[in-house]
Structure 1
Amino acid sequence: MSDRWCRAAAAVAAGALPCLAFPAPALWWFAYVALVPWMLLLRSAPTGRRAALEGWLGGAGFIVAVHHWLLPSLHVFLVPLAALLGLLWIPWALLVRELLSGAPAAGRATAALVLVPAGWLLSELARSWQGLGGPWGLLGASQWQVPPALRLASAGGVWLVSLLVVAVNCALVLLIAVPGARAPAVAGVTGCAVLTGVVWLWTPRPEVSGSLRVALVQPGMVAEGPASAERRFATGERLTRDLAGQRADLVVWGESSVGEDLTARPDLAARLAALSAQVGAPLLVNVDAHRSDRPGIYKSAVLVGPQGLTGDRYDKMRLVPFGEYIPARALLGWATSVGKAAGEDRMRGAAPVVMDLPGGVRVGPLVCFESAFPDMSRRLAREGAALLVAQSATSSFQDSWAPAQHASLAALRAAETGRPVVHATLTGISEVHGPSGERIGPALPTSASTAQVYQVPLARGATVYVRFGDWPVGAALAALAAYCSVQGARSPVLRRPAPEPSAPPARTARG
């Protein structure tokens, strides 16, 4: 096999390595070294074109690795999707080669410690657009169980954590491959440690201000078939009855826990109202059905009290590509014939909703995939939500890494907003995280069919991230813009060549 093919295969494998830092393996410490092989390969690329190719291949390998559990749904379509998204890593690859190749002096090495993480963040930001699949597998999300990293998230969101992780990887590349740049490399690692320490010591912590008893109802796997929605409803109904006398303040069911529009099925609404009266708490259920008041299928968080529907309803706004709708269905509709893609597009909601519970506590619902978007939970916190609830269903990927990775996002959203997050699923993993991202009580595994009450601490105040938003993204883009400006100023300016001075007229000989 030629050297070019060996390097191509190595790029794909190196790009896939970071997936081990995410759940289910959850080797969080591996994230700080996972990019080193890929970056060493890129810095040794003989040409910029080769670096771009290896950046593309590594990016595609990363996408396949962190989304491999989608294979049952997308089948071979995952490969062209990964090839498309892999293009987003080409600018980062060119930056790595430009700043780390050869023997960079102290100035170039120092610039690399800023610009290489900024370039990685640019790739993450671009693929976080919902139309390209959303922010699943952001590198900073691998640190969901590390308290210092969660403190960084409270200051700058998952973006700040990603920047720090890539900066450490970059410093390790300098230490390994560029002996003359060890001083900037050590300074870079020290700077990351100092930043983490400053945030840990000086960033305000959420101030606990009471608690709420929240019950999660997880019915578990239900046999598929024409009556599966009714069987799931009946299981949830039975488990909810067992909560009577446990003094719950709110009962949460998972995504798609109700398969009929409750306005069109008053009998189901009456059953839920009776449950609410029996338990002594409102029920937050999730309806996946055609609506009776408008065309199309909606996934909606619906609050039901002892008197019936309260009128509080949130329609899911950000849908899963291919899972809940097919982009450009006229062109890509064939995906339904090779996988479990959506046979009919779901409809989007118009705006976020904050619901009021008895006693004055306000709840911000999210539906499944939406818990991956930092801006959505931040907006709910700014609009007064004291508790964030993510209703999810991952039964299609029950035996994969998806349930654990999805549940881990609750810790990040809690740390970013300073608000507790409840992650309630149909089939696991369900869990609760407090306002600093800490896990509250035991998680409900994928094997469980049960209902569990959690004493959830509430908090007041606003985190730095809630106040100032995605400022690390702005800082990274500003650094990249400054670099491009400097490089542009140093490049020779193309001008129209000035006309050459005409030669003096030749003297004629005189006789």
Structure 2
Amino acid sequence: MKSLGLWLGSPWRRSAVAGVAGAVPMVTFPAPALWWLAPVALVPWILLARGAPTARRALYDGWCGGFGLVLAVHHWLLPSLHVFTFVIAALLGALWAPWGLLIRRFLGGSPSPGRVGAALLVLPSGWLMVELVRSWQGLGGPWGMLGASQWQVGPALRLASVGGIWLLSFLLVAVNVAVAALIAVRASRVPAVAGLVVTAAVTSAAWAWAPRPEVDERVAVAVVQPGIVAGADSADRRFDRGERLTRALVGREVELVVWGESSVGFDLVDRPDLARRLAALSRETRAEILVNVDARRSDRPGIYKSSVLVGPDGPTGDRYDKMRLVPFGEYVPARALLGWATSVGKAAGEDRERGTEQVVMEGGGGLRIGPMVCFESAFPDMSRALAEDGADVLVAQSATSTFQRTWAPEQHASLAALRAAETGRPMVHATLTGVSAVYGPDGARVGSPLGTDASAGRVHEVPLADGVTPYVRLGAWPVTLALLVLACWAVAEGVRTVRLRRNGPEPLVPPVRTARGWPARPGR
């Protein structure tokens, strides 16, 4: 241990170790999907920051760990953004700097049982604040939140219906803190074990109390995935392939057909021939078709990505314009300042325009559809709003064509399981090139997904559920709890500081030596 401490004495080596420690949670997400490592994935990072020799070094440990985490979970952006990926990781990684300081404050040195007990609340609360801030779409959105690693764990999905992904992240960090305390702080093993027991008890109670979605009927929904289409005329050829795959569904008694993001590359007003072909498909399949138009609008300036519902008579008038755009992928933040990103990577040459409100579409058969586009499925508040507005089924239209043969397609598809479990509404994740998947109202997968090598149409019997989950009713209450915990701690720290200043330090009085050389008490 002493030699390890000497080796970590180099600031550069320590920063590198912090970056690697912060990257460990990456393996808990798809494609590796080692979800069972999540309860200990933060332990190396916590142990490192706990042993920081100074508060400043703890800040750096938090920052470097955050840099490693952001870079790891977004590594698939490197071919598109190149060096700018490191810039983004460095900026976002700074959000974890205060968290590193909190670790040292509560677990550094020989913490008392009370400090360890407080750490089990304060450190998860601090982590949640970081996830809350970085969830702002201007900072890249909530991709890679720790709780999302549990997308295929049934009990975790039940908990998501109670407190959303926020509750999962809070509990996972609490377990990591308890494990770190068990390893490093022998004198505080009792509160660490107690913390694990309490966490398990709270988790079990929430799991038992969480209402199960009551399935009352099923609806046949088809996902059409054309696969990779390249070339200068790719928009026309992609439409042709989607049309052919949809026509193959004739006779399957489908109620809704879903195409992926940018499945139509032309405005349907400017191209009435495409609108007529879609209407003919709707008549032949006896199903409405939800397409996604990525084109310059004829009725207003700019390029929009829009979900458009088409029936047997053409577009029904239901349209949703994407609201939350992908930074650098669909627009460049502060383009006057950061426009150089287009010269070093595949950043958007022209900004897409934003929609102004979410829309619940009314299908002809009474099915209420809540559309989202691409990485909007990462935002729990958007799916919650659609469920509140009465959506029967959530739909995310996506295109991960740029990131084939990376972990991005599988990770993106997994987010739909969380959104379904949180809202108690089934979710369809339809893409151009995979992974396309469908999840029931409990977050369990329905049927088999379409992988990145597939070009097909697949019908799923999607279960519909009634009722409202606690998360839809109460919202992100774990975030409110975390804010209260941090506020209480800040008040306690403020009171403690005032008392120390008021009382002042005890005077340092040198001992008085007697004739025999023994120290005597002052005044004797």
Taking structure 2 as the reference length, the TM-score comes to 0.93
Structure 2: gaps spanning 5 or more residues? 1-7, 504-524
Match of 1:454 in 2: 460
RMSD value over aligned CA atoms?
1.4
Taking structure 1 as the reference length, the TM-score comes to 0.96
Match of 2:171 in 1: 164
| Residue of 207, 217, 220 corresponding to 1:213 | 220
Letter in 2 for 1:426: L
How many angstroms apart in 2 are the aligned matches of 1:258 and 1:344? 19
Match of 1:500 in 2: none
Match of 1:46 in 2: 53
| Residue of 154, 162, 169 corresponding to 1:155 | 162
How many angstroms apart in 2 are the aligned matches of 1:321 and 1:308? 33
Q: Alpha-carbon deviation of 1:20?
A: 0.5
Match of 2:3 in 1: none
How many angstroms apart in 1 are the aligned matches of 2:207 and 2:94? 36
Match of 1:130 in 2: 137
Deviations 1:121-148 (A, max 9, x none): 1111111111100000000000000011
Match of 1:509 in 2: none
The reply on whether 1:315 has 2:321 as its aligned counterpart is yes
How many angstroms apart in 2 are the aligned matches of 1:479 and 1:160? 14
SS at the partner of 1:237? helix
The reply on whether 1:31 has 2:14 as its aligned counterpart is no
SS at the partner of 2:339? helix
How many angstroms apart in 2 are the aligned matches of 1:496 and 1:483? 20
SS at the partner of 2:448? strand
The reply on whether 1:353 has 2:378 as its aligned counterpart is no
Match of 2:10 in 1: 3
How many angstroms apart in 2 are the aligned matches of 1:162 and 1:91? 18
Deviations 1:408-434 (A, max 9, x none): 000000000000000000000000000
Match of 2:344 in 1: 338
SS at the partner of 2:441? coil
The reply on whether 1:102 has 2:113 as its aligned counterpart is no
Structure-to-structure mapping, 1:258-407, within 5 angstroms: 258-407=264-413
Contact 2:255 / 2:365 at 8 angstroms: preserved in 1? no
Match of 1:87 in 2: 94
| Residue of 176, 192, 202 corresponding to 2:183 | 176
The reply on whether 1:60 has 2:28 as its aligned counterpart is no
The reply on whether 1:197 has 2:221 as its aligned counterpart is no
Q: Alpha-carbon deviation of 1:176?
A: 0.4
Match of 2:419 in 1: 413
How many angstroms apart in 2 are the aligned matches of 1:77 and 1:168? 34
How many angstroms apart in 1 are the aligned matches of 2:179 and 2:9? 29
How many angstroms apart in 1 are the aligned matches of 2:395 and 2:501? 60
Greater alpha carbon shift after TM alignment, 5-14 vs 373-382? 5-14
SS at the partner of 2:481? helix
Deviations 1:232-257 (A, max 9, x none): 00000000000000010000000000
SS at the partner of 1:287? strand
The reply on whether 1:145 has 2:152 as its aligned counterpart is yes
How many angstroms apart in 1 are the aligned matches of 2:201 and 2:269? 56
How many angstroms apart in 1 are the aligned matches of 2:348 and 2:491? 45
Q: Alpha-carbon deviation of 1:2?
A: 5.3
Structure 1: gaps spanning 5 or more residues? 498-511
Q: Alpha-carbon deviation of 1:495?
A: 8.2
Contact 2:261 / 2:292 at 8 angstroms: preserved in 1? yes
How many angstroms apart in 2 are the aligned matches of 1:264 and 1:182? 69
How many angstroms apart in 2 are the aligned matches of 1:218 and 1:98? 51
Q: Alpha-carbon deviation of 1:493?
A: 6.8
SS at the partner of 1:331? helix
How many angstroms apart in 1 are the aligned matches of 2:128 and 2:309? 38
